[in-house]
Structure 1
Amino acid sequence: MPWILLLLLCLFGAPAQAVTIPGVTTSTSSSQPPATAPEPDVEQKKAAYGALADVLENDTSRKELIDQLRTVAKTPPQEPVPSITPPEVTSDKTVLENVTDVSRHYGEALSARFAQLYRNLIGSPHKAFNPQTFGNAASHFLMLAGAIFAFYWLARLCAWPLYRKMGEWGRRKNREKSSWLHLPLMIAGAFVIDLLLLALTLFVGQLLSDNLNAGSKTIAFQQSLFLNAFALIEFFKALLRLIFSPRVPDLRPFSVNDQGAKYWALRLSILSGLIGYGLLVAVPIISNQVNVQIGALANVLIMLCITVWALYLIFHNKKAITAGLLHLADRSLSFFSLFIRAFALVWHWLASAYFIVLCFFSLFDPGNSLKFMMGATFHSLAIIGIAAFVSGLLSRWISKTITLSPQVQRNYPELQKRVNGWISASLKVARILTVCIAIMLLLSAWSLFDFWNWMHNGAGEKTVDILIRIALILFFSAIGWTLLASLIENRLVSDIHGRPLPSARARTLLTLFRNALAVIISTITIMIVLSEIGVNIAPLLAGAGALGLAISFGSQTLVKDIITGIFIQFENGMNTGDLVTIGPLTGTVERMSIRSVGVRQDTGAYHIIPWSSITTFANFVRGIGSVVANYDVDRHEDADKAKQALRAAVEELMEMEDIRGLVIGEPSFAGIVGLTNTAFTLRVSFTTQPLKQWTVRFALDSMVKKHFDLADVRPPVQTYQVLPAPGSPPPPLEPTL
């Protein structure tokens, strides 16, 4: 019964205005809004209600309706048709276009500022000037200013004797070198006293302002302007007194002469007074009491005059200040000397930029700009001072060393040097981090970089986390290398209990193992550090394997050197200090690496011989030495007499204590071992300690010569024959020794 569904749709759609049944499919797209069904009239509604009543009264039709409703409920919903949205077309801008956009943005902002300044000068509404009100306010203002200046001058005058005593005591302690902290503490104490006197003066000024404002809000406002400007300017002057100290030279932290200190303290004080009282007091009072236009004009004139005067002072004293900074750099530590020399080259440009920026800011926003510049200046001076103090402490600690006990130095000879090296490197890194943090804080003080926001967002936290991880990795690597290397070095030396030195082979293998350990720890540390900073080391490892394979094929001689050297070392073929013969070279082994051996001849020539080029070699230091001495005697001599003379020479040689200790066992007499037409040969042989055979042989030759001469045993006689001239008798043979 399809008409039943149509009837129901018409019935329920009339009051609800096209309410859809869940599960019913529609032919409209999901992206299109459904069409609103027309409102049925009253007759149609009545007909629909009557038809529904007839259906419900009949059991068959009612059941059919229920089945159709359940079938519709089980029908799955139609999948929504996805809407296709075209991608946004973005045009990549060139660098020139980006620069143009930025320039246009800041140019429009600057032009808007100048337009506002022009409107202040030309188009501001005029205000009626009331001489009586202005005179009354000016009189109360001058009364408060005079009282404040007089009180502050008297307070500082009473404190000058205390400043002098503090400076003399600090200088005396500094000359006695009892402690270098006395003078800095006195300088800081004088600055704190200055600030306390300023706070006391402001308190008194506030009390006077409450009683000298005559109940006028205008007078109270002007006096509050003066007190704020007085606090700001006198604080800056306190900083000038901290740096130059013109009246108490003993409290001067820098080596500036009295004339230069007074010159700069006076001019900078006047400059700060003109800026502060001009912008924070005079301009607001003129704008409020006289006219806004005149106030804006006064602001422009004051800042132009101050800027021109400041630039004159900067470039007029450029050479003198640059020379002073270079002289200070020559007397400073090398770390600070670099920064001072760099500052000496650009200080005049920085100072000029400072006053030009102050001038522009003051033209647009006099009060806030001066507060910002003063606050940024104070923060900058504080940051530079603290950074210089911390860097100075680190530099002093770098120059100091740790001294271990003699017993520890004997057992671990390289430990003290290695520990001092690690500490020095750590302090240098800390000093570099101090400079980096100081630079970021300086940029943050001038609103060029938000340091604290950077520290609290993802980039700053991630950077600090990486730095801490790298520091821990390097720390544990240094500790591990120091411990392992110290243990190896402890095995290379004898101890206080008389432990003998290790053998030459053990020393060589331990040295090679220490070098290999250094390479392994360094490689692993570098790989872990690269992984921590975000470098994917998997390609590096794969590339290192491929590179190693390529090198192994291309450098077969190097691989052969290494393999041959390893086997020679494990076979204990030679060690450092051995006397060896390698091919035509005979000399002492001075150095052994994994690739080559260094041999020095007795002539002083040093030879580096690759292991792969060694086919055979002779080592004279392997347990014993041997002396085989042959002596030729004239054939006509008595053999028994010659033997007896040789035995007497050997017996006297063996009685010498220094020679007897070098001979192992007893000498061996072989008797006659050779016979020629002119001589017979006697032989005696010795077994000696390693490398002592030449000492025994030289001493034996001396004894044999002595006893052969005493026994009149002659060496072989050489003869020659002179042919006679033709017709003359032949001459007799003449013996020749």
Structure 2
Amino acid sequence: MPGLNFPLRYLLQALLLMLCSTFLSTAQAVTLPAAAVAAQSQQTTAAADTTPPDADEKRAAWAALANILDNEQSRQQLIEQLRKASEPPAAPADPVLTPPEEEEDKTVLQSVTDVSRQFGGEFASRLQTLQRNIVDAPHKPFNQQTFFNAVSHFAMLAAALFAFYWLTRWAASPLYRRMGAWGRRKNSDRTSWLHLPAMIAGAFVIDLLLLALALFVGQILSDNMNGGSRTIAYQQGLFLNAFALIEFFKAILRLMFCQRYPQLRFFHLSDDRAAYWSTRISWLSGLIGYGLLVIVPIVSNQVNVQVGAVINVLVMGLVTVWALYLIFHNRRNIQQELTRLADRSLAFFALFIRAFALVWHWLASAYFIALFLFSLFDPGNSLKFMMSASVRSLAIVAIGALVSGMLTRWINKTIVLSPELRRNYPELQQRVNGWLSAMLKLARVISVFAVTLMLLNAWHLFDLWHWLTVGAGEKLVDILIRIVVILFFSAVGWTLLASLIESRLASDSHGRPMPSARTRTLLTLFRNALAVVISTITIMIVLSEIGVNIAPLLAGAGALGLAVSFGSQTLVKDIITGVFIQFENGMNTGDLVTIGPITGTVERMSIRSVGVRQDTGAYHIIPWSSITTFANFVRGIGSFVANYDVDRREDTDRVNATLQAAVRELLEDKTIRGMVIGEPSFAGLVGLTNQAFTVRVSFTTQPLKQWTVRFALDGMVKKHFDAAGIKVPYQTVQVMQSGNDVAGAAGVQAALPAPE
């Protein structure tokens, strides 16, 4: 360099190399502009080479050294390292035990204040660094010949690469159309819903392969079109990196909007809207990518660092303003499109889509504002981080949506068991489908939780790997696995036992008889008790797995049980009485019983009470302990005795013959005959009064059929008595009169007709 002798120049170069390696390897490095970072890389390469550095490399090295020495923190670190290097090695000292410092307990407000102060100070430091880079950066002489030479080689490479990439994509366009047409045809036939997504994914893979081919050709062109200059080769390398990043993002845009091939478009979006958003987002990505990754570094290196920093601010300011305008200008349209998409989606996805429709514009605005702020401090790395996080977020959301969609489709499906299994275990199919649906819903919730954690990890807001391997996530996952296993075995045990009980309760149309009412009642009570026992044990085990000490619960339950046993003697009496009545087969569900003054049908039986429904509709709950005696009308047979009163003046033999004729005609009805057991018993004349005598007939019937037979018999007897002219007794009134008659009194008896 002019003005410096030979040893001093290489001494400064060695000092610069040591300084760069130190600050690149420590976590407390100061963020430099893109031009400084580029100059450091060039200087490192030049120092490793045996050839002397050229003038451009020397100027870049001096500019980077000036930027490092200009920063107070880096300058102090350099001074400390040089002093430590000059000191002789110290003798090993005796170890000194230092008690740990006690951490001060801070309130939540103090912790928030400390975090805000830390980030605020870091932000202010970044702003000061940016201001120094713009104002105090060293000026460089502008070499017009070098600049236009680099521009010409750069333009030739860019034109050749864009032309080649466009031709390859144009040649592949017929393949895209055929893939889209085939996928749509298969999707319209409803033969399989995977054909269209497979074609869309295949088109995206082909697009990436074409991009990789273009980058390979671009690297070959760069090796032959750099004019032998390392600076031009470096600038062309910047362009190739930016081209790869931007075109990869545009490939994702084509996957989402697919402007030229609507048949490969996954979303229901019109061609105009797809073209609108695809064009504008492509322009935004190109302006951001080529501006920050190509133009700003080249201008900073070839022209001036100050100009590069100003261009960086202008480009990102323009991009941010344009993006915010597009967001808020189309806010309502996109919200309406998302709402319509939610109406067409499954209920599970509709909830998330509607929530996203309400806040999407705020999320997009925060995205571009964060990109603007990050690009001011670290133009190259910030863009790579934002685009990498965006791509990973899209991939995570897509995979999560695919998994959740498959789980949702499986939830709506049912497992159909064989007819034999459904006949032997009538509730097994419904119970298996219920448990399977619950497990799939749990898996869907876990997938949503996993997607949320991975999104936070993609944006470096949460260290997922550390949380899973070292932090609380490892314990949480272990607990969740244990709980799922416990619930699984509990569900399997309950399903098997309940199915076995229900198989005994079910009748078989192929010959297996219906179990008795007593058996049904006992098995139902046993099933309910089994459900209580399994649920209690499962809850206790789950509580112990999540860290709840169940010993106090068990001790408290024992004490509570002892207290309840003293205070609930009636309840215990109800249970014991109910158990003995069931074992004695006293009554069962469906029996007609009389308990005290209540006569009705037994509808429900539990371990504490019995529910009886009267014919008036009233429902009575009667504790077992209050039952002293009861009558059951459904035990073996039913019977009744029919008495008929006729006028005393009628002939007894004729009345008995008429009654027997009525009974014979009644028994000719096959329905009535099927209800009668054996033959009726005629008792003849069983009662005699002044006005009437009584004839009797008795029947033995099937249980609960006595009233049906009795009502039919009354109708038939009335029919025969009317036909035979047999009269019922009349009600009489005797009137006593007094006078001076010879008899002294005369009795007059008047006959009154019997009430009808």
TM range, normalised to the smaller chain? 0.7 to 0.9
Question: Which shows bigger deviation, 710-719 or 260-269?
Answer: 710-719
Query: Does the CA contact (< 8 Å) of 2:733 and 2:749 recur in 1?
Result: no
Which TM-score applies when normalising by structure 2? Answer: 0.83
Alignment deviations for residues 251-271 of structure 1 (CA, whole Å, 9 cap, x no partner): 110011111111100000000
Q: Given that residues 720 and 736 in structure 1 are in contact (C-alpha distance below 8 angstroms), is that contact kept between their aligned partners in structure 2?
A: no
After superposition, the Cα gap between the structure-2 partners of 1:251 and 1:723, relative to the gap in structure 1 and judged at 3 Å, is farther
Deviation digits for residues 116-139 of structure 1 (CA, Å, limit 9, x no counterpart): 111111111122221111111111
Return the letter of the residue paired with 1:494: S
How far, CA to CA, are the matches of 2:98 and 2:196 in structure 1? 75
> 1:689 Cα deviation (Å)?
1.4
The equivalent of 2:10 in structure 1 is none
Q: Give, in whole Å, the separation in 1 of the partners of 2:739 and 2:574.
A: 70
| Distance change (3 Å), C-alpha of 1:89 and 1:410 | closer
Helix, strand or coil: the match of 1:661? helix
* 3-state SS of paired residue (1:674): strand
Structure-1 separation of matches of 2:101 and 2:446: 45
1:380–1:442 contact (8 Å) kept in structure 2: yes
Query: What is aligned with 2:422?
Result: 409
Aligned residue in 2 for 1:589: 602
Q: Give how far 1:410 is off.
A: 1.4
Question: Which residue of structure 1 aligns with residue 206 of structure 2?
Answer: 193
Aligned to 1:254: 267
Whole-Å separation in 2 of the counterparts to 1:277 and 1:655: 106
The residue aligned with 1:6 is: none
Select between 643-652 and 486-495 the one with higher mean Cα deviation. 643-652
Quote the Cα distance in structure 2 between the aligned partners of 1:460 and 1:397: 28
2:133, 2:305 within 8 Å by CA — same for their partners in 1?
yes
Q: Which amino acid aligns with 1:437?
A: A
In 1, are the aligned partners of 2:731 and 2:751 still within 8 Å (CA)?
A: no
Gapped runs of 5+ residues in structure 1? Answer: 1-83
Tell me how far 1:422 sits from its aligned partner: 0.8
**Number of matched pairs:** 655
Using the TM superposition, name which of 321-330 and 541-550 deviates more: 541-550
Letter aligned with residue 312 of structure 1: Y
Deviations 1:339-395 (A, max 9, x none): 101111111111111111111111001111111111111110000000000111111
Partner in structure 2 of residue 335 of structure 1:
348
Distance 2:200 2:104 in 1: 62
Contact 2:730–2:751 at 8 Å: present in 1 too? no
Contact map agreement 1:627 1:696 (CA 8 A) in 2: no
Q: Identify the residue that residue 367 of structure 1 maps to in structure 2.
A: 380
Q: Secondary structure at the match of 1:215?
A: coil
The alignment status of 1:650 with 2:650, answered yes or no, reads no
Q: Is it true that 1:265 corresponds to 2:282 in the alignment?
A: no
The yes-or-no answer on 1:733 pairing with 2:755 is no
Deviations 1:208-242 (A, max 9, x none): 00000011010000000000000000000000010
Which among 495, 515, 520 is matched to residue 508 of structure 2?
Answer: 495
Letter paired with 1:113: R
Question: Which residue, 288, 292, 304 being the options, matches 1:275?
Answer: 288
Judged with a 3 Å threshold, the aligned counterparts in structure 2 of structure 1 residues 310 and 553 are, in CA distance, closer, same or farther, namely farther
The match for 1:539 is 552
Once the two structures are aligned, what percentage of the paired residues are identical? 73
- Provide, for residues 446-501 of structure 1, a one-character-per-residue CA deviation record: whole Å limited to 9, x for no partner: 11111122222253332222222111111111111111111111101123541111
In 2, Cα distance between equivalents of 1:722 and 1:321: 105
Specify the alignment match of 1:459 in structure 2: 472
Contact 2:417–2:429 (CA<8 Å) still a contact in 1?
Answer: yes
Q: In the alignment, is the contact (CA less than 8 A) between 1:198 and 1:231 conserved in 2?
A: yes
2:165 aligns to what?
Answer: 152
Q: What TM-score results when the alignment is normalised by the length of structure 1?
A: 0.85
Q: CA deviation at 1:152?
A: 0.9
Mapping of residues 428-507 of structure 1, within 5 Å: 428-457=441-470, 459-507=472-520
Secondary structure (helix, strand or coil) at the match of 2:429 reads helix
1:262 partner amino acid: A
Change (3 A) 1:121 1:706: same
**Structure 1 residues 617, 390: closer, same or farther in 2, change over 3 A?**
same
Aligned residue in 1 for 2:584: 571
Which of residues 575, 581, 588 is equivalent to 1:562?
Answer: 575
SS in 1 for 2:461: coil
Query: Which residue of 291, 307, 312 corresponds with 2:320?
Result: 307
Structure 1 counterpart of 2:712, one-letter code: A
Moved more, 157-166 or 423-432: 157-166
Structure 1 position 724, deviation (Å): 8.7
Letter in 1 for 2:248: F
Residue 222 of structure 2 aligns with an amino acid whose one-letter code is S
Aligned residue for 1:10?
none
Q: Name the residue aligned to 1:97.
A: 110
Which deviates the most, 716-725 or 194-203?
716-725
Q: 1:149 to 1:727 in 2, by over 3 A?
A: farther
8 Å CA contact 1:287, 1:296 repeated in 2 = yes
- Report the alpha carbon displacement of residue 200 of structure 1 after superposing the two structures with TM: 0.7
What pairs up with 1:594-633 in 2 under 5 angstroms?
594-633=607-646
Match of residue 413 from structure 2: 400
Q: CA deviation at 1:660?
A: 2.8
What is the Cα deviation at residue 692 of structure 1? 1.1
Q: Do structure 1's residue 422 and structure 2's residue 435 form an aligned pair?
A: yes
Deviation at 1:719, TM superposition (A): 1.9
Letter in 1 for 2:213: L
1:527 maps to which of 518, 525, 540: 540
Pair 1:206 & 2:219 matched? yes
Q: How big is the shift at 1:331?
A: 0.9
Q: Report the CA distance between 1:721 and its aligned residue.
A: 5.4
Aligned 1:289-304 pairs, distance under 5 A: 289-304=302-317
Cα distance in 2 for partners of 1:586, 1:508 equals 20
Aligned-pair CA distance for 1:668: 2.4
- Alpha-carbon distance, 1:727 to partner: 12
Counterpart position of 1:166: 179
Mapped to 2, the partners of 1:725 and 1:395 lie a distance apart of 102
Task: Please say which structure displays the higher CA radius of gyration.
Answer: 1
Q: Which amino acid aligns with 2:434?
A: G
Deviations 1:181-212 (A, max 9, x none): 11111111111111111111101100000000
1:218 maps to: 231
CA positional deviation for 1:90: 5.1
The answer to whether the 8 A contact 1:672-1:681 is kept is: yes
Closer, same or farther: CA 139–633 of 1 in aligned 2, 3 Å: same
C-alpha separation in 2, matches of 1:129 and 1:556: 104
Distance 1:298 1:726, change over 3 A: farther
Residue of structure 1 equivalent to 2:83: none
- In 1, Cα distance between equivalents of 2:191 and 2:749: 102
| CA pair 182-696 structure 1, distance change in 2 beyond 3 A | same
CA distance in 2, matches of 1:229, 1:736: 120
Query: Quick one: which amino acid aligns to residue 153 of structure 1?
Result: W
Equivalent position amino acid for 2:353 in 1? I
Pairing 1:24-39 to 2, within 5 Å after superposition: none
Q: Deviations over 1:623-663 (max 9, x none)?
A: 11111111112222222332232233333334443333322
Unaligned runs of 5+ in 2: 1-96
Relative to structure 1, is the Cα distance of residues 422 and 87 closer, same or farther in structure 2, using a 3 angstrom cutoff?
A: closer
One-letter code aligned to 1:607: H
Aligned partner of 1:580: which letter?
Answer: V
- Superposed, 1:344-363 pairs within 5 Å as 344-363=357-376
Paired residue for 2:689, among 676, 680, 697? Answer: 676
The 1:316/1:127 distance shift into structure 2, 3 A limit, reads same
Q: CA RMSD in A?
A: 2.3
Bigger shift: residues 445-454 or 563-572: 563-572
User: Secondary structure of 2:172's partner?
Assistant: helix
Query: What secondary structure does 1:665 align onto?
Result: coil
CA distance in 2, matches of 1:557, 1:292: 93
Q: Which amino acid aligns with 2:732?
A: T
SS for the counterpart of 1:604 is coil
Matches within 5 A, 1:314-333: 314-333=327-346
Q: Which moved more, 1:144-153 or 1:607-616?
A: 607-616
